[in-house]
Structure 1
Amino acid sequence: MRRRDFVRSAGSAALLGALPGCRSPAPAEAPFTLWTWVHGNRDRDTDAWREQFARLREAGFHAVLVGGGDIDLVSGAARAEGLEYHRWFWTMNRNGDAWVRENHPEWFTVSRNLESSLDHPPYVGYYKWVCPSRGPVREYLRGRIADLAAHPAVDGVHLDYVRHCDVILPRALWDTYDLVQDVEHPEFDFCYCDVCRVQFAALDGRDPLEIPDPPADEAWRRFRWDSVTGAVRELAEAAHEHGKPITAAVFPTPSIARTLVRQDWDRWPLDRFFPMLYQSFYLEDIPWIGDGVREGVAALAATDGDVRGGTATPLNAGLYLPALDPPALAEAVATAREAGASGVSTFEMDGLTDDHLAAIRDATV
């Protein structure tokens, strides 16, 4: 439906504890960590990268999530300034992967209109997605993650676009694309490729294209969630086999993620989560960030024992700098911290002014 008249809606301490008259000290509070996404394909030499990373270190940053660029050069500069280097990896969105596009066009997702995202990318030209249900896709992505995790200059692997295409965009983007997405439109509803249809029919006995109302069908929704989760489990295994942590940028809360992008992220066996709590995308204010943190922390706590070994899994709130001037950024950091976040991550490094960095220092003292 095109936009017309639509109203905007909105454990040695245990030994001490065993001695009479002694109490175990309370466990040390986990540090509140600062991260940032970084577009690594910038024309900078080692000295220029070190200058940028020194600014982060002085503001108390812990790690960088770097996409693109020379791994050894950028990692060397980050480590020289005391920062961890995590490689930022586009997962299901393979627009930039010429080998896949040229050799495996059948890997790309298919809409309910039976159009491939390779030939008919939704919304924007780079929205070309591979299907997580396909074994060869998982094998290929697992190999890419294994290669990154095996690299001695990489401290961890960070997944992005680890989901299906947005069946519904965040509310603030509807005007941008001249859309009203109060229902799931078929051109944005993925994936209906032959592999997904056969796999679902084997589980459920139905062809999803023959379901009268596919968006309302709980089993079909669950199938898409599980297809992404199954792929993530394999990617996590690949990173962990090389002793490296694996993290992901995810949609703001588990409930929003399941609804908008078929992403059931609180069930994933990852080491840290970075929900993109970009309040402006949802026509919300900064307190919404705290609400999102609380929902995410509670969801992870409920599944930690079953999925991630029982320990509390860190959640760093993703913050969108273009919508946050320095005072608002300080408020957002404080809000996330008070709500139980283990830290924050900013999008992205080049938007961090000196005033932003001063605001972060003040908010994390």
Structure 2
Amino acid sequence: MLRRFLLGLLLIFGFGMLAYAGEFSELRGVWIDVRSIPGDEAGVRHMVERLSRAHFNALFVESFYRGETIYPSEFLESAGLSAQMEHFRRPGFDPLRVFIEEAHRRNMQVHAWFHMFYVGLDAPGPVLSTFPQWAARNRDGSSGYTQGGKRFFFVCPLHEGVLEFYRGLLGEVVERYDLDGVHLDYFRFPDPTIADTCYCEACRQAFRRVKGFDPLALDPVENFEAYREWVAFRARELSDFAASLSAHLRRLRPELLLSCAVKPFGFPLEGYPGFLQDWPTWGRKGIFDFLVPMTYSSRPQEFEGMLRFVRTFLRGVPFCAGVWCMGMDAATVFEEIQRAREHTPCGVVLFAYPYLGDDLLAALSRDAFATFSPPPGKEDFPRLVFSPLDPQDFLEKRRTIRAKRVDAPCVVDGVLEELWREADWQGDFTLIVGGKPSRDTKIAVLYDEECLYVAFVLWGASREGKITRRDGPVFYDDSVELFLDPWASRSFFFQFAANFLGTQYDGSSFLGARFDGTWQVGVAEVVGATVVEMAIPFKTLGRGTPRVGECFGVNFCRNDLTQGEFSTWTEVPGIYGASFFFGTLEFGP
């Protein structure tokens, strides 16, 4: 009788616990780059065993990189390309096969990680050498763009033949290998603020057929409304590409998990997605089983802010948080994993294998990944979601500040003159993760015929900083940022930032740091606070003096790195540049 009673308890509670564990199984992934893949079978098996000991359960193995595969590909060979990367081909080694064998033996998944449209570094690479007509073209007709001393080359997904190429390439790997998933990366255009593509004749003609004008004639700043249509056109074409490719792979392998790395930026409510990836639509249409937003930051609150942004627009869609590990200590990695768990039960993917030293792996196995969790299967992912945040909640909190007109120009030195006394001073900032910051910030705005004047009073701040180069990353010092939308467009904006040394940074939503405006900053210390003043000529904003009653979109932001806090005047869903949620700057008498 006692044995039956105990068996009954086991059936009730034991299976209940198993069901609970199954419901909350999370993906614990790591991106494994080509350079880290060993050149022999023993090395690959040791790598998998090492990650298994740290309780990872999903390996995202870089399988197609700069136009070459780590496995032998008959498809590439038939297209006139190399069948396999040379350092794997020479010894006749297929690392993907070994990864799958060893991972499955340890109850781990393997997702083949494909670099899609980024195909060449400092040279066009084999794909564009074979198919030069596929190159993404800049406005001047050139291909490639330079960033950080390197030149990057992209395929344009709108070109004829590109979709068929990737259907063949991916179709081959999912039919030949017992993969658990396929993970797409660089499934995007280049960042339009760095390289605005593609302006080949075929793309321009396709747009002209729909809209009746040539996108090459558009200036992103002067014609931002029409330019936004060009952005939306390319984003829709990329979404159609994604849907077609997804349908093809699911016909071949219905059980396959499809995922995509996405940039967690853009203006989804305005149809202007960052990097032309309309990831909210991809999620809504179920094109991928889950997405992996690259929520990369070494600053945990900023990391969580990006998760809030994703959660606001991926409504009921599973996503795994991408965690940046380069140069991060174990405590910061653990904190970000924990913050991720508060926003998604789906899991995390760590970037990347080279940064997972023995000490970090051992610490993960003791703490964040203390017990093994079976990887979620295809049937699990639809349930691995938390309730979304509601954009309407943020829209209802938009604030208004009035700019007071003054007759004489302000002296921009951080020492507030008497004329600031009657300005509309406001504070009550909100953290990008919700809640109130540790230290107060006050802001006010004045204007005259020529300039807009902005003052920040930052309690608890001192004049310290490291960045001294114009347009350097002042956001990595204690600093302030001003976002201005001079046409109240809810999409286009200018960004002005300064640290407490007075170092300036400026940019715009379409041009990024390529925008260089003329404006002034003054910084001074007062008792218990630092004051930052800005003077921005209306000419710099491309417009004349505003009329009384006219409105700009605006937000004021503070980076308080001493406290690890990021706050805004008008609450936004996680990131500063969410222009649809900006408050209102009303010009008064």
TM-score with structure 1 setting the length: 0.76
Q: Which amino acid aligns with 2:177?
A: P
Alpha-carbon distance between aligned partners in 1 of 2:224 and 2:275, rounded to the nearest angstrom: 12
Task: Give deviations 1:23-56, integer Å, cap 9, x for gaps.
Answer: xx99963322200000245334323222221222
Helix, strand or coil for the counterpart of 1:133?
Answer: coil
Taking structure 1 as reference, are residues 353 and 157 closer, same or farther at Cα in structure 2, changes over 3 Å only?
Answer: same
Q: Which amino acid aligns with 1:270?
A: F
Alpha-carbon distance between aligned partners in 1 of 2:191 and 2:168, rounded to the nearest angstrom: 26
Q: Which ranges of structure 2 fall in alignment gaps of 5 or more residues? A: 1-18, 64-69, 71-93, 371-589
Helix, strand or coil for the counterpart of 1:279?
Answer: coil
Instruction: Please tell me whether the aligned partners of residues 200 and 208 of structure 1 are also in contact (alpha carbons under 8 angstroms).
Output: yes
In structure 2, the partner of 1:330 is 334
Displacement of 1:189 after TM fit?
A: 1.0
Q: What aligned pairs does 1:77-226 form with structure 2 within 5 A after superposition?
A: 77-95=102-120, 99-117=126-144, 121-123=145-147, 125=150, 127-168=152-193, 188-213=195-220, 216=225, 217-226=227-236
Displacement of 1:329 after TM fit?
A: 0.5
Helix, strand or coil for the counterpart of 2:312?
Answer: helix
Instruction: Please tell me whether the aligned partners of residues 215 and 221 of structure 1 are also in contact (alpha carbons under 8 angstroms).
Output: no
Q: Which amino acid aligns with 1:29?
A: E
In structure 2, the partner of 1:37 is 31
Segment drifting more, 203-212 vs 90-99: 90-99
Alpha-carbon distance between aligned partners in 1 of 2:20 and 2:326, rounded to the nearest angstrom: 40
Alpha-carbon distance between aligned partners in 1 of 2:191 and 2:317, rounded to the nearest angstrom: 26
Alpha-carbon distance between aligned partners in 1 of 2:336 and 2:146, rounded to the nearest angstrom: 32
Q: Percent identity?
A: 27
Q: Which has the higher contact order (CA 8 A, sep 6+)?
A: 1
The answer to whether residue 305 in structure 2 is matched with residue 288 in structure 1 is: no
Instruction: Please tell me whether the aligned partners of residues 228 and 272 of structure 2 are also in contact (alpha carbons under 8 angstroms).
Output: no
Segment drifting more, 289-298 vs 143-152: 289-298
Q: Which ranges of structure 1 fall in alignment gaps of 5 or more residues? A: 1-24, 169-184, 302-311
Q: Which amino acid aligns with 2:260?
A: A
In structure 1, the partner of 2:16 is none
In structure 2, the partner of 1:273 is 291
After superposition, the CA RMSD in angstroms is 2.6
Alpha-carbon distance between aligned partners in 1 of 2:146 and 2:164, rounded to the nearest angstrom: 26
Q: Which amino acid aligns with 1:346?
A: L
Taking structure 1 as reference, are residues 45 and 193 closer, same or farther at Cα in structure 2, changes over 3 Å only?
Answer: same
Task: Give deviations 1:64-119, integer Å, cap 9, x for gaps.
Answer: 010143321222222233211111111111228855323321111111222123xx
Q: What aligned pairs does 1:239-254 form with structure 2 within 5 A after superposition?
A: 239-243=249-253, 244-253=256-265
Alpha-carbon distance between aligned partners in 1 of 2:272 and 2:294, rounded to the nearest angstrom: 14
Task: Give deviations 1:269-290, integer Å, cap 9, x for gaps.
Answer: 111111111114xxxx211222
Taking structure 1 as reference, are residues 252 and 43 closer, same or farther at Cα in structure 2, changes over 3 Å only?
Answer: same
Q: What aligned pairs does 1:299-338 form with structure 2 within 5 A after superposition?
A: 299-301=313-315, 312-338=316-342
Helix, strand or coil for the counterpart of 1:350?
Answer: helix
TM-score with structure 2 setting the length: 0.49
Alpha-carbon distance between aligned partners in 1 of 2:275 and 2:134, rounded to the nearest angstrom: 19
Taking structure 1 as reference, are residues 341 and 295 closer, same or farther at Cα in structure 2, changes over 3 Å only?
Answer: farther
Q: Which amino acid aligns with 2:294?
A: M
Helix, strand or coil for the counterpart of 2:152?
Answer: coil
Displacement of 1:235 after TM fit?
A: 1.7
Instruction: Please tell me whether the aligned partners of residues 59 and 108 of structure 2 are also in contact (alpha carbons under 8 angstroms).
Output: yes
Task: Give deviations 1:192-229, integer Å, cap 9, x for gaps.
Answer: 11111111111111110122446552211101211221
Segment drifting more, 33-42 vs 190-199: 33-42
Q: Which amino acid aligns with 2:31?
A: W
Instruction: Please tell me whether the aligned partners of residues 132 and 138 of structure 1 are also in contact (alpha carbons under 8 angstroms).
Output: yes
Displacement of 1:164 after TM fit?
A: 0.6
The answer to whether residue 50 in structure 2 is matched with residue 46 in structure 1 is: no
Taking structure 1 as reference, are residues 237 and 292 closer, same or farther at Cα in structure 2, changes over 3 Å only?
Answer: same
Q: Which amino acid aligns with 1:235?
A: L
Alpha-carbon distance between aligned partners in 1 of 2:219 and 2:352, rounded to the nearest angstrom: 43
Alpha-carbon distance between aligned partners in 1 of 2:127 and 2:332, rounded to the nearest angstrom: 42
Alpha-carbon distance between aligned partners in 2 of 1:129 and 1:225, rounded to the nearest angstrom: 16
Taking structure 1 as reference, are residues 45 and 151 closer, same or farther at Cα in structure 2, changes over 3 Å only?
Answer: same
Taking structure 1 as reference, are residues 112 and 233 closer, same or farther at Cα in structure 2, changes over 3 Å only?
Answer: same
Segment drifting more, 198-207 vs 236-245: 236-245
Q: Which amino acid aligns with 2:368?
A: A
Q: Which amino acid aligns with 2:127?
A: V
Larger radius of gyration: 2
Segment drifting more, 288-297 vs 314-323: 288-297
Alpha-carbon distance between aligned partners in 2 of 1:27 and 1:64, rounded to the nearest angstrom: 21
Taking structure 1 as reference, are residues 353 and 100 closer, same or farther at Cα in structure 2, changes over 3 Å only?
Answer: closer
Task: Give deviations 1:272-325, integer Å, cap 9, x for gaps.
Answer: 111111114xxxx21122222232233222xxxxxxxxxx43211111111421
Alpha-carbon distance between aligned partners in 1 of 2:248 and 2:23, rounded to the nearest angstrom: 30
Alpha-carbon distance between aligned partners in 1 of 2:289 and 2:266, rounded to the nearest angstrom: 16
Displacement of 1:350 after TM fit?
A: 2.8
In structure 2, the partner of 1:236 is 246
Taking structure 1 as reference, are residues 99 and 26 closer, same or farther at Cα in structure 2, changes over 3 Å only?
Answer: closer
Segment drifting more, 105-114 vs 292-301: 292-301
Alpha-carbon distance between aligned partners in 2 of 1:215 and 1:127, rounded to the nearest angstrom: 26
